[in-house]
């Protein structure tokens, strides 16, 4: 059984501030260890659940956060950025299940720790009219390859978002957010134990791939009209108003690549 793990940092227990997630931040090294610990818990749970091959994709910021020297040797790591499929680099039809570890809620989620959608220049993203965050965007790409997301971890609002979108996935709330920069956090040992148990359960239960039915319309609202000045350079995109742009295609892999291109162009 092959398991794919995409790991972000904002949803890790103990991480509640931007300075913890930035490479030059004063608490970044601690956050790296916490992130690596939760990934290891997921790896160990997957192994206990029958996984024979595990691929981990570092999906936060520079994507050079996970400490490879402390990672369980039964897994392999994709590190570095940019990557063509970003947070989902390495996913393909050969995997049986995917885990999203340390994820966070979509931009605009009230009281959720460090909520955003890929970048701070994005106000909202939707697929076929439904607002989505990184969880649904990335799960839809996994679903394109027939891979179900069976486990998500983060704060309680991320878990609620994932279940509302993906259905009855295993979810572990490693912290209870009470604001953008504050949360009641589980200690690492407890968070790791719960992730391990949930990972093992998730593989025994399995899941259904999250598939967005065509035609697929990606709509993005940026925080500034300047971002659209560049994003609308993508052939086939349709700008309406100062901040809103849409793109429609029947193929989700193409839609996902357009999404990535829009962000890259908008960042300048």
* Number of domains, the chain: 2
98 and 221 housed in the same domain? no
Same domain, yes or no, for 45 and 155?
A: yes
- Domain match, 169 and 260 both: no
- The phi, psi pair for 99, rounded to 5°, reads -115, 140
Let me know whether 67 and 144 are in one domain: yes
**Is there a domain that residue 211 lies in?**
no
Distance CA 181, CA 168 (A): 28
What is the domain range of residue 51? 2-117+133-205
- pLDDT tens-digit map of 128-181: 999 999 999 999 999 999 999 999 999 999 999 999 999 999 999 999 999 999
What are the phi and psi torsion angles at 72 (to 5°)?
Answer: -55, 125
CA 162 to chain centroid, in Å, comes to: 11
Whether residue 92 is found in the same domain as residue 223? no
106 belongs to a structural domain: yes
CB distance 181 to 17 below 8 Å: yes
240 and 178, same domain (yes or no):
no
CA-closest candidate to residue 217, choices 179, 157, 259, 175: 259
Q: What is the pLDDT of residue 227?
A: 95
Which helix (H) or strand (E) covers residue 90, if one does?
Answer: none
Residues 65 and 170 in one domain: yes
| Alpha-helix residue ranges (DSSP H) falling in the chain | 18-21, 28-48, 134-144, 156-166, 188-205, 225-231, 252-267
- 107 and 181 in a single domain? The answer is yes
pTM (global) more than 0.95:
yes
pLDDT score recorded for residue 268: 76
From the list 116, 196, 227, 244, the catalytic residue is 116
Q: Which of 130, 133, 98 is nearest to 112 (CA)?
A: 133
**Residue 210 forms part of a structural domain:** no
Partners of residue 130 on adjacent β-strands: 127
Residues 137 and 230 grouped into a single domain: no
Q: Judge if 241 and 146 occupy the same domain.
A: no
Residues 26 and 142 in one domain: yes
- To the query of whether residue 116 is one of the catalytic residues in this protein, the response is yes
Q: What is the mean pLDDT of each run of 10 residues along the chain (268 residues)?
A: 98 97 94 98 98 98 98 98 96 98 97 96 97 98 98 98 97 97 98 98 97 98 95 95 95 98 92
Please report, for the domain that includes residue 249, its CATH number. 3.30.1360.130
In a domain, 145, yes or no: yes
DSSP 162: H
Same domain for 153 and 40?
A: yes
Q: Are strands 53-58 and 75-78 parallel, antiparallel or unpaired?
A: parallel
Find, among 87, 89, 130, the residue nearest to 218 by Cα. 130
CA distance 3 to 68: 18
Decide: 98 and 149 in contact? Cβ < 8 Å. Answer: yes
Using the 3D structure, point to which of 184, 205, 226 is the last residue of a domain: 205
Give CA–CA dist 233/211, Å, rounded.
28
Task: Tell me the C-alpha distance between 237 and 227, whole Å.
Answer: 14
**Model pLDDT, residue 26:** 85
């Amino acid at each position: 059984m092959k398991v794919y793990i995409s790991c972000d940092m904002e949803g890790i227990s103990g991480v509640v501030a931007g300075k913890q997630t930035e490479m030059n931040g004063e608490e970044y090294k601690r956050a790296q260890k916490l992130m690596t610990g939760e990934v290891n818990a997921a790896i160990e749970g997957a192994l206990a659940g029958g996984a024979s091959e595990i691929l981990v994709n570092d999906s936060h910021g520079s994507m050079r956060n996970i400490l490879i020297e402390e990672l369980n040797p039964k897994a392999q790591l994709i590190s570095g950025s940019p990557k063509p499929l970003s947070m989902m680099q390495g996913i393909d039809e050969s995997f049986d299940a995917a885990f999203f570890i340390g994820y966070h809620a979509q931009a605009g989620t009230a009281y959720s720790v460090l909520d955003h959608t890929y970048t701070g220049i994005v106000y909202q993203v939707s697929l076929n009219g439904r607002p989505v965050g990184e969880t649904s965007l990335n799960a839809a790409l996994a679903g394109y390859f027939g891979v179900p997301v069976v486990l998500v971890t983060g704060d309680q609002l991320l878990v609620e978002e994932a279940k509302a979108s993906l259905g009855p996935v295993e979810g572990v709330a490693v912290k209870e957010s009470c604001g953008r920069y504050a949360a009641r956090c589980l200690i690492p040992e407890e968070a790791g134990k719960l992730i391990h148990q949930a990972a093992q359960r998730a593989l025994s239960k399995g899941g259904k791939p999250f598939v967005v039915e065509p035609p697929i319309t990606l709509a993005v609202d940026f925080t500034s009209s300047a971002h659209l000045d560049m994003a609308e350079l993508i052939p086939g995109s349709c700008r309406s108003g100062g901040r809103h742009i849409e793109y429609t295609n029947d193929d989700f892999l193409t839609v996902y690549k357009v999404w990535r291109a829009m962000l890259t162009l908008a960042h300048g």
